[in-house]
Amino acid sequence: MKSSNLRMLPMLCAFALLAGCSSLNPFASSAPKPAELADFKPTVDLHELWKTNIGKAGTYVFRPAVVGDSVYAAATGGSVARFDGARAVWRSDAKTELSAGVGSDGRLAVVVSVGGEAIAYDAQSGAERWRVPVGAEVLAPPAVNADVVVMRASDHRLIALNARDGSRRWVYQRNNPALALRSHAGVVLEGNVLLAGFPGGKLVAVNLANGGALWELNVATPRGATELERVADVAGTPVVSRREVCAVTYQGRAACFDGSNGNALWARDFSSAVGMDRDTRFAVITDDHDAVQALDVYSGASMWKQDALVRRKVSRPLIVGDYVAVGDVEGYVHLLRREDGAFAARRRVDSSAVVADLQRLGGGFVVQTRDGDIVAYDVR
């Protein structure tokens, strides 16, 4: 039997692939510096609505959950809270370290501990409802509805619990490649179906009632002579809009499918480690060189590319009305014009990285940084 250290090698290799050799090389003088930010004349006001703090993320990624006007957030030290504006409606202490952000449907707010324990709170009062062992490391926020809580384990299993008491409902597991990226991407609940991306470029729909696979699509096919070259994992959370389902992979493709029959609408060679967003006109992707690119949502044709943020570890894009918002490693939020990708506004949240996906809030969005600042913005 191989030791646990040997089993970790594929994950470590994947980290090296994304981080770049210089950051791991003891003889390298320094990692490449982020691109300097160019001056521009803002055309809109990226207005701060409110700001608060939940606590640091540590080595994990904490994405807030937005339900209506409420923001649910957590920190690795164990803090879990609901904010209506900057006011904390409630704040609880999980009394254990946490490994992922909050999942909520407005009834339950669920987090997962570093030790693999799911903890559910009443979303209105903050009272603890239940606490059960999951038996797996979880890096992504749980997906929650009135009946079920679904967690994506770091080994890519999907684990479903009863929302009422945390009892085990089902586990979905599939064969995956030997080498896969360590991902904090979540899953999507659409009615009675769960959508999840997997290593090897697979996009799978799972029946929420019993955990059975309904269909499987190939976003990309692994290519290359080595295991590293063949990494083609779905990056970020899949995007659902009307009947279409879209996803992008690392070292593979971006593609949109007709969700009713699984037919590919278009596919383009692409590589992203953080994912994409889309609306009725554009599919917008942050590629693995930190360029933000827009494609025509109907044909996949290139519309524009903003490549002035190279080496800034740009986050997954979020389309907000006529603009696209992204965060970066130095705590800046950049607003790009949706029509042409030109810079429209810029604000610094704090001096720590914006790694977690930005989340829509009303007509604007909310950001959570590594240092735990939570800031809501709108565009004026």
For residue 129, what is the domain's CATH number?
2.40.128.630
pLDDT of residue 243: 85
Phi, psi dihedral angles at 228 (to 5 degrees)? -65, -45
Q: What are the tokens at 83?
A: 């904010």
The owner of tokens 């383009």 is 268
Query: pTM for the full model?
Result: 0.91
Same domain assignment for residues 14 and 87 = no
Q: Which stretches does DSSP call E strand in 231-322?
A: 234-241, 244-249, 252-258, 264-270, 276-278, 282-286, 292-296, 302-306, 318-320
Same domain assignment for residues 94 and 160 = yes
Neighbouring-strand partners of residue 284: 277, 294
Give the separation between CA 328 and CA 69, rounded to whole angstroms: 25
Same domain assignment for residues 79 and 174 = yes
Phi, psi dihedral angles at 205 (to 5 degrees)? -105, 130
pLDDT of residue 180: 86
Considering the domain boundaries, does residue 2 fall inside one?
yes
Torsion of CA 140, 220, 336, 182, to 10 degrees: 30
139, 99 contact by CB (below 8 A): yes
Considering the domain boundaries, does residue 195 fall inside one?
no
Positive or negative torsion for Cα 366, 357, 337, 314: positive
Number of domains in the chain: 2
Give the angle 189-173-275 at the CA atoms, nearest 5°. 50
Considering the domain boundaries, does residue 226 fall inside one?
no
pLDDT of residue 308: 98
Considering the domain boundaries, does residue 142 fall inside one?
yes
Give the separation between CA 75 and CA 60, rounded to whole angstroms: 9
| Per-residue confidence in pLDDT tens, the chain, 380 aa | 433 333 333 443 444 444 443 333 433 446 789 999 999 999 999 999 999 999 999 999 999 999 999 999 999 999 999 999 999 999 999 999 999 999 999 999 999 999 999 999 999 999 999 999 999 999 999 999 999 999 999 999 999 999 999 999 999 999 888 888 888 999 999 999 999 999 999 999 999 999 999 999 999 999 988 999 999 999 999 999 878 999 999 999 999 999 888 899 999 999 999 999 999 999 999 999 999 999 999 999 999 999 999 999 999 999 999 999 999 999 999 999 999 999 999 999 999 999 999 999 999 999 999 999 999 999 99
Give the separation between CA 273 and CA 40, rounded to whole angstroms: 28
Q: Residue 11: which H helix or E strand, with range? A: helix 4-19
Give the separation between CA 215 and CA 213, rounded to whole angstroms: 6
Give the separation between CA 200 and CA 252, rounded to whole angstroms: 9
Last residue within a domain, chosen from 183, 200, 219: 183
pLDDT of residue 30: 62
Last residue within a domain, chosen from 183, 201, 216: 183
* Antiparallel, parallel or unpaired: β 79-84 and 292-296: unpaired
Give the separation between CA 199 and CA 84, rounded to whole angstroms: 37
pLDDT of residue 17: 44
Q: What are the tokens at 205?
A: 């729909």
Domain interval for residue 28: 1-32
